[in-house]
Amino acid sequence: MPRQINYVALVAGVLTLVLIAASVFVPWWQFNVGNPALASVNFSPVNFNLALFNTILTVPIIWALNLACLLTLLAGGISLLVYSVLPTKSYAKSLLGFGYKKPLYAVILFMVELIVLYLSVTLLTGVNLPLIGSASLQLPDILSGGITVKVAVSAFFNWTFYFAIAVVVLCFAARVYHRKAAKPVTSISVSSTN
Amino acid sequence: MQLIGIVLLLISVGLVVGPVGAVVYIYKDDLSGLIIPPEVKGLVNGDSSLFINDNSGNDGDDSPFGSFVQPEFVSANIDNAARTFSVTVNLTNSFTIDLTLNSLSTDVDTPDRQRITAVGLSNPYVIAPGESALVTVEGSWTQTGEAYFMEHYSTSEAADVVLVNTVVDVNGVSVELSEPIQITVPMSTSGITVTG
């Protein structure tokens, strides 16, 4: 009897691991202050840092949360891989349920954090940061001491963000494909009678 | 099947609680360290090494910022026939990153606000950390300004002028000074080449 494999889950699991590795080095969203940049914010669920004058500032509690997110995604990816080769086992659905939601949680967490960051800066400083594109921001007088200070800023989503969305879609496809993959293979034997 | 569900739940909780708990434990004696990076703490305590390059050659200068904003005069060229001039100054980048001086412009007025000249950067300059660069500003003066200047300051050792509409753009950060700046210009011919 041929071994049943949920190929969609297999690909989703591998791509989840690729997403983790890529997100450590390529932020999902990047915000630059100045041109060339004096400061930049690099933001992904597994790596959030502020680079100021080429020095990366790491907030320990955020570093811990990033690590927690990385390990959770890693566990999700591994569980998807294990599930994909054992889709008919009794515990397969538990593994799938554990794994396929993790990239979605990461994307939701990222979006919530980004919106909170955006609203916090807007409400606290009155400055409208662009989420995408370039702008010249005028600092409020209270920050610039009466001098008109305009700062060139730019923000953009990197390919890793779109890749994360693709992984989420693939993970859900793996969940949908489970019904077909977990269906027991029925073997039909045909015997000829003379 | 229930057992594996419980194990996965414990893994989920452990993967979050583990790193967060470990970091909280490491910083248990100084909880502010959880949210304040050590570099920022150093900055608050007066350690400016995050911004300032120690090798910028500012011996004895307590304010590296000052050495950047106070350029050293190198030379000047004046073309009387064309009513143009250029002034070259030496600027040192005391910061830890490349500085790109995109633009610098100002109008120079007499104290009673008659326009003498407009000054601008000849072209953008990129200055590497700790390095110096010769920066040239150019300008042309008005006939009215020349007449006023000759009438009031031809025999003086220094002239009072007012800088207005001053705009400086460094690394995309544009600073526009709304208030006029009054400065005194020494009337020395040392280092000045006059043609025309």
Q: Each residue of B65-76: pLDDT tens digit?
A: 444 556 788 888
Nearest to B173 among A52, A79, A151 (CB): A151
Q: SS3 of A8, please?
A: helix
d(C-alpha A100, C-alpha A106), whole Å: 11
For CA atoms B49, B50, B56, B60, give the dihedral sign. negative
Distances (CA, A) of B160 to A69, A166, B85, B88, B128: 63, 66, 18, 21, 34
DSSP state of A28: S
Q: What is the CA radius of gyration of chain A?
A: 23
Nearest to A60 among B27, B51, B174 (CB): B27
CB neighbours of residue B58 within 10 Å: 19
Phi, psi for residue B21 in degrees, rounded to 5: -65, -40
**For A66-113, how does the pLDDT look when each residue is reduced to its tens digit (9 = 90+)?**
999 999 999 999 999 999 998 888 888 899 999 999 999 999 999 998
Nearest to B19 among A55, A64, A95 (CB): A64
Predicted confidence (pLDDT) at residue A191 exceeds the cutoff of 70? no
Interface test with A, best of B2, B9, B16, B179 (most A CBs within 10 A): B16
Bridge partners, B107 (sequence order): B118, B164
Which residue in this structure is represented by tokens 């269906």? A183
Q: Domains of chain A: which residue ranges?
A: 7-181
**Would you call B183 an interface residue with chain A, using a CB distance cutoff of 8 Å?**
no
A 154-193: CB under 8 A from B: none
Contacts 24+ apart (CB under 8 A), B134-137: B134/B74, B134/B88, B134/B89, B134/B90, B135/B71, B135/B88, B135/B89, B135/B90, B135/B91, B135/B101, B136/B86, B136/B87, B136/B88, B136/B89, B137/B86, B137/B87, B137/B89, B137/B104
Bridge partners, A31 (sequence order): A41, A155
Predicted model pTM? 0.79
Predicted confidence (pLDDT) at residue A1 exceeds the cutoff of 80? no
pLDDT of residue B43: 77
d(C-alpha A158, C-alpha B128), whole Å: 29
A 92-121: CB under 8 A from B: 94-95, 98
- Alpha helices (H) along chain B: 2-26, 38-44, 64-69, 143-153
Q: Which CATH class is domain A7-181?
A: mainly alpha
Domains parsed from chain B with CATH numbers: 2-35 (no CATH), 64-189 (2.60.40.10)
Predicted confidence (pLDDT) at residue B46 exceeds the cutoff of 60? yes
d(C-alpha A143, C-alpha A120), whole Å: 16
Lowest mean pLDDT among A37-41, A66-70, B159-163: B159-163
